[in-house]
C-alpha cells in the first residue's frame, strides 16, 4: 500500500456564507428565546445555501449568554455524514476554549442550543462534550415527518438520561418557528429535487 492510499485527516468548517456572517452576530445572547431565534434563522438559510439539512446550533456561556460558537449542518457541502450542526458547534467551541471538556474547572458553564432534539449521533456528542445545559425547539416526531430525516433509535427517556448526567434540558423554545423551517425545507427539497441524505425514503425495502 502506498503512503497516500489512505486518508489521514478530514475537516469540518463553517460554510463561506456563515463565515461572512460571523462579524455581524451578537456577542451576547442574554436569553434562550433570543438564542433559539438566531438558531432558527441560521437553519433556514443553511438549506437554501445548499450546505445540508435545516439544522443549526450554537454554544453560549450559560449565565452570561456570551456566544462561543455557531454551527450548521454541512453534510452535503463536505461529504462527511457526521457534519451535523451540533458536532460542528461543539467542536468549534472546544477549539475555542482549548480542550475537549466544556465543563473543565476553569471554564464557565456552557449551553448548547439547537432547533430540534439531537439525533442518535448528536445525542452522544452532546452528552460527552461537557455542556451543562441543552435547549431544544422540539422533541416530537414532527422533524422526521416534515423533513424525511431518520433521526435514529433514540431512547424515550433521552432527556432524563441527560439530567442524570448533570445536563439540564429545556424543550419547546420557539417550537412553532422551528416547525415552519422544517416545512419550508420539505417544500424546498421538492422544488429543487434536493437530497435528503440518510432518509428512510431513499432506502430499498
- What does the pLDDT look like over 165-205, one tens digit per residue? 999 999 999 999 999 999 999 888 888 777 777 655 544 44
23 inside domain: yes
79 inside domain: yes
Q: Assess contact for 54 and 29: CB atoms under 8 A.
A: no
Domain ranges, residue 116: 16-186
196 inside domain: no
At residue 153, does pLDDT exceed 90?
no
Overall average pLDDT of the 84-93 stretch: 98
Count of domains for the chain: 1
92 sits in which H/E element: helix 85-97
pLDDT for 203 equals: 47
Q: Which of 197, 145, 185, 173 is nearest to 58 (CA)?
A: 173
- At 98-129, the pLDDT tens digits run 999 999 999 999 999 999 999 999 999 999 99
> Could you please report the per-residue DSSP string of 118-182?
--HHHHHHHHTTT-SEEEES--STHHHHHH-B------TTHHHHHHHTT-EEEE-TTHHHHHHHH
CATH number, residue 161: 3.40.140.10
- At 10-27, the pLDDT tens digits run 999 999 999 999 999 999
N- to C-terminal Cα separation, the chain: 38
98 inside domain: yes
4 inside domain: no
- At 28-73, the pLDDT tens digits run 999 999 999 999 999 999 999 988 889 999 999 999 999 999 999 9
Which set of grid coordinates corresponds to residue 141?
Answer: 416526531
203 inside domain: no
Amino acid at each position: 500500500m502506498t503512503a497516500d492510499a489512505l486518508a489521514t485527516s478530514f475537516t469540518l468548517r463553517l460554510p463561506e456564507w456563515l463565515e461572512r456572517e460571523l462579524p455581524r452576530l451578537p456577542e451576547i445572547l442574554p436569553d434562550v428565546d433570543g438564542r433559539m431565534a438566531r438558531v432558527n434563522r441560521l437553519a433556514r438559510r443553511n438549506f437554501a445555501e445548499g450546505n445540508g439539512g435545516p439544522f443549526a446550533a450554537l454554544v453560549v456561556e450559560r449565565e452570561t449568554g456570551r456566544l462561543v460558537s455557531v454551527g450548521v449542518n454541512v453534510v452535503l457541502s463536505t461529504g462527511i455524514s457526521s457534519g451535523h450542526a451540533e458536532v460542528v458547534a461543539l467542536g468549534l467551541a472546544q477549539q475555542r476554549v482549548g480542550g475537549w471538556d466544556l465543563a473543565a474547572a476553569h471554564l464557565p458553564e456552557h449551553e448548547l442550543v439547537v432547533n430540534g432534539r439531537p439525533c442518535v449521533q448528536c445525542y452522544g456528542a452532546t452528552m460527552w462534550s461537557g455542556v451543562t445545559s441543552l435547549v431544544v425547539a422540539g422533541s416530537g416526531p414532527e422533524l422526521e415527518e416534515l423533513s424525511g430525516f431518520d433521526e435514529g433509535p433514540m431512547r424515550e427517556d433521552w432527556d432524563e438520561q441527560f439530567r442524570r448526567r448533570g445536563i439540564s434540558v429545556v424543550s419547546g423554545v420557539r417550537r412553532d418557528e422551528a416547525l415552519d423551517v422544517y416545512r419550508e425545507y420539505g417544500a424546498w427539497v421538492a422544488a429543487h429535487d434536493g437530497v435528503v441524505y440518510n432518509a428512510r425514503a431513499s432506502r430499498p425495502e
